[in-house]
Structure 1
Amino acid sequence: MAGRVKKGAPKKKAAGYKMPAPIPTGEVIKDTLFKKEWRIGPSIGVGGFGEIYSACDHTLKAKGSDYPYAIKIEPHENGPLFVEINFYLRNANKDDIAKFMQSRKLTSLGMPTYFGKGSHESNGVTYRYLVMERFGKDVWSLFTEAGKSFPPATVFQLGLQMLDVLEYIHSRGYVHADLKGANMLLGLKKTAKNQVYLVDFGLATRLKEDQPFTPDPKSAHNGTIEYTSRDAHLGEPTMRGDLEILGYNMLQWLVGELPWEKSLKQPKTVQAMKEEFMKNVRTKIKSMASNVPDALIKFFEYINTMKPKEVPDYKKCRKLFEDYLKTEGKTRNSTLEFSPSKTQSPSKGRTKRVIAVDSDGSDEEAEAPVKATKQNGDVPKKRGRKPKVTDADTENKAPEVKETKTKVKRKSSEPAVLVKVKKTRLNPTSTPPAKENHTNIATQTSIDKNKYSPRLNTSRHVSFDSPISEIVGDSSKNSGINSSGDIFDDSFTIKEVKVKPKRKLLSNEEVLVKRVIRKKVTNVKKGKSWKDLPTVVNGRSPPK
Structure 2
Amino acid sequence: MAGKGKKVGAPKKNTNGYKMPAPIPIGEVIHDTIAKKKWRIGPSIGVGGFGEIYSACNHEGSPKKESNFPFVVKIEPHENGPLFVEKHFYIRNANKEDIAKFIKTKKLSSFGMPSYFGNGSHEYKGEKYRYLVLERYGKDIWSLFKENGRLFPPATVFQLGLQMLDVLEYIHGRGYVHADIKGANILMGLRKGTENQAYLVDFGLATRVSDKEFKPDPKSAHNGTIEYTSRDAHLGVPTMRGDLEILGYNMLQWLIGELPWEKNLKQPKTVQDMKESFMKNVRSNITKQYSNVPDALIKFLEYINTLKPKDVPDYTKCRILFDNFLKSEGKSRTSKLDFSPGKRGKAAKQNHDTDNKDNCEDDSKETKKRKENGETTKLVKRGRKAKTNETPLEIENCENEEPDVSVESAKIVKSKNKRKSSEPLVVVKVKKTKLTPKATPPAKKNHANIATQTSVERPKRSPRQVSFDSPICEIIGDKKPLKLSKENESVNSSGDIFDDSFTIEGEKVKPKKRLLSDEKVTVKRIVKKKVTTTKPKGKSWKNCATIVNGRSPPK
TM-score bin, normalised by smaller chain: 0.5 to 0.7
Q: Would the aligned equivalents of 1:186 and 1:193 in 2 still touch at CA under 8 Å? A: yes
Give the aligned partner of residue 323 of structure 1.
324
Measure the CA separation in 2 of the matches of 1:93 and 1:287: 46
Give the aligned partner of residue 305 of structure 2.
304
Rate the CA distance shift 1:386–1:313 in 2: closer, same or farther, 3 A.
same
Give the aligned partner of residue 135 of structure 1.
137
Residue 72 of structure 1: which of 71, 74, 77 is its match?
74
Letter in 1 for 2:158: F
Cα offset for 1:88?
0.3
Give the aligned partner of residue 341 of structure 2.
340
Cα offset for 1:5?
4.5
Superimposed CA distance per residue, residues 434-464 of structure 1 (whole angstroms, 9 cap, x where no aligned partner): xxxxxxxxxxxxxxxxxxxxxxxxxxxxxxx
Rate the CA distance shift 1:30–1:326 in 2: closer, same or farther, 3 A.
same
Q: Would the aligned equivalents of 1:101 and 1:109 in 2 still touch at CA under 8 Å? A: yes
- Secondary structure at the counterpart of residue 305 of structure 2: helix
Give the aligned partner of residue 220 of structure 2.
219
Give the aligned partner of residue 277 of structure 1.
278
Letter in 2 for 1:69: F
Rate the CA distance shift 1:353–1:201 in 2: closer, same or farther, 3 A.
closer
Cα offset for 1:46?
1.0
Letter in 1 for 2:314: D
Q: How does 1:145-544 map to 2 (within 5 A)?
A: 145-209=147-211, 211-341=212-342
Measure the CA separation in 2 of the matches of 1:51 and 1:303: 36
Of Structure 1 and Structure 2, the greater strand share is in: 1
Superimposed CA distance per residue, residues 245-291 of structure 1 (whole angstroms, 9 cap, x where no aligned partner): 00000011011111111111111111111111110211221233111
Cα offset for 1:7?
2.6
Rate the CA distance shift 1:5–1:268 in 2: closer, same or farther, 3 A.
farther
Q: Would the aligned equivalents of 1:31 and 1:118 in 2 still touch at CA under 8 Å? A: yes
Measure the CA separation in 2 of the matches of 1:166 and 1:87: 14
Q: Would the aligned equivalents of 1:143 and 1:253 in 2 still touch at CA under 8 Å? A: yes
Rate the CA distance shift 1:262–1:33 in 2: closer, same or farther, 3 A.
same
Q: Would the aligned equivalents of 1:116 and 1:131 in 2 still touch at CA under 8 Å? A: yes
Q: Would the aligned equivalents of 1:18 and 1:75 in 2 still touch at CA under 8 Å? A: yes
Rate the CA distance shift 1:212–1:78 in 2: closer, same or farther, 3 A.
same
Give the aligned partner of residue 505 of structure 1.
none
Give the aligned partner of residue 15 of structure 1.
16
Measure the CA separation in 2 of the matches of 1:113 and 1:370: 51
Rate the CA distance shift 1:30–1:267 in 2: closer, same or farther, 3 A.
same
Letter in 1 for 2:300: F
Rate the CA distance shift 1:156–1:3 in 2: closer, same or farther, 3 A.
farther
Measure the CA separation in 1 of the matches of 2:36 and 2:81: 25
Q: Would the aligned equivalents of 1:231 and 1:237 in 2 still touch at CA under 8 Å? A: yes
Letter in 2 for 1:131: V
- Secondary structure at the counterpart of residue 193 of structure 2: helix
Q: Would the aligned equivalents of 1:110 and 1:197 in 2 still touch at CA under 8 Å? A: yes
- Secondary structure at the counterpart of residue 191 of structure 1: coil
Measure the CA separation in 2 of the matches of 1:41 and 1:238: 38
- Secondary structure at the counterpart of residue 260 of structure 2: coil
Cα offset for 1:10?
1.0
- Secondary structure at the counterpart of residue 192 of structure 1: coil
Give the aligned partner of residue 417 of structure 1.
none
Give the aligned partner of residue 100 of structure 1.
102
Measure the CA separation in 1 of the matches of 2:128 and 2:374: 92
Structure 2: gaps of 5 or more residues? 363-368, 376-555
Measure the CA separation in 2 of the matches of 1:410 and 1:165: 75
- Give TM-score, length-normalised by structure 2: 0.62
Give the aligned partner of residue 437 of structure 1.
none
Cα offset for 1:212?
1.3
- Secondary structure at the counterpart of residue 75 of structure 2: strand
Q: Would the aligned equivalents of 2:55 and 2:70 in 1 still touch at CA under 8 Å? A: yes
Measure the CA separation in 1 of the matches of 2:354 and 2:184: 33
Cα offset for 1:301?
0.5
Of all paired residues, the percent bearing the same amino acid is 70
Q: Would the aligned equivalents of 1:157 and 1:332 in 2 still touch at CA under 8 Å? A: yes
Measure the CA separation in 1 of the matches of 2:14 and 2:374: 80
Measure the CA separation in 2 of the matches of 1:234 and 1:129: 32
Rate the CA distance shift 1:154–1:8 in 2: closer, same or farther, 3 A.
same
- Secondary structure at the counterpart of residue 118 of structure 2: strand
Structure 1: gaps of 5 or more residues? 345-351, 356-365, 372-381, 388-405, 413-544
Rate the CA distance shift 1:386–1:336 in 2: closer, same or farther, 3 A.
farther
Cα offset for 1:342?
5.7
- Secondary structure at the counterpart of residue 338 of structure 1: coil
Tell me whether 59-68 or 197-206 shows the greater mean CA deviation.
59-68
Q: Would the aligned equivalents of 1:255 and 1:288 in 2 still touch at CA under 8 Å? A: no
- Secondary structure at the counterpart of residue 269 of structure 1: helix
Measure the CA separation in 2 of the matches of 1:342 and 1:302: 30
Give the aligned partner of residue 427 of structure 1.
none
Q: Would the aligned equivalents of 2:16 and 2:49 in 1 still touch at CA under 8 Å? A: no
Measure the CA separation in 2 of the matches of 1:222 and 1:334: 35
Measure the CA separation in 1 of the matches of 2:23 and 2:226: 29
Q: Would the aligned equivalents of 2:53 and 2:75 in 1 still touch at CA under 8 Å? A: yes
Cα offset for 1:14?
2.3
Measure the CA separation in 1 of the matches of 2:117 and 2:209: 26
Give the aligned partner of residue 512 of structure 1.
none
Measure the CA separation in 1 of the matches of 2:354 and 2:229: 40
Residue 89 of structure 2: which of 69, 87, 107 is its match?
87
Give the aligned partner of residue 430 of structure 1.
none
Q: Would the aligned equivalents of 1:8 and 1:124 in 2 still touch at CA under 8 Å? A: no
Cα offset for 1:9?
1.3
Measure the CA separation in 2 of the matches of 1:341 and 1:370: 19
Letter in 2 for 1:320: L
Cα offset for 1:2?
6.1
Rate the CA distance shift 1:411–1:28 in 2: closer, same or farther, 3 A.
closer
- Secondary structure at the counterpart of residue 129 of structure 1: strand
Cα offset for 1:343?
8.2
Rate the CA distance shift 1:287–1:95 in 2: closer, same or farther, 3 A.
same
Please tell me the root mean square deviation across aligned C-alpha atoms, in Å: 2.6
Measure the CA separation in 2 of the matches of 1:234 and 1:90: 27
Superimposed CA distance per residue, residues 452-511 of structure 1 (whole angstroms, 9 cap, x where no aligned partner): xxxxxxxxxxxxxxxxxxxxxxxxxxxxxxxxxxxxxxxxxxxxxxxxxxxxxxxxxxxx
Superimposed CA distance per residue, residues 392-441 of structure 1 (whole angstroms, 9 cap, x where no aligned partner): xxxxxxxxxxxxxx99x9799xxxxxxxxxxxxxxxxxxxxxxxxxxxxx
Rate the CA distance shift 1:97–1:353 in 2: closer, same or farther, 3 A.
same
Rate the CA distance shift 1:410–1:7 in 2: closer, same or farther, 3 A.
same
Aligned length: 365
Measure the CA separation in 1 of the matches of 2:17 and 2:273: 27
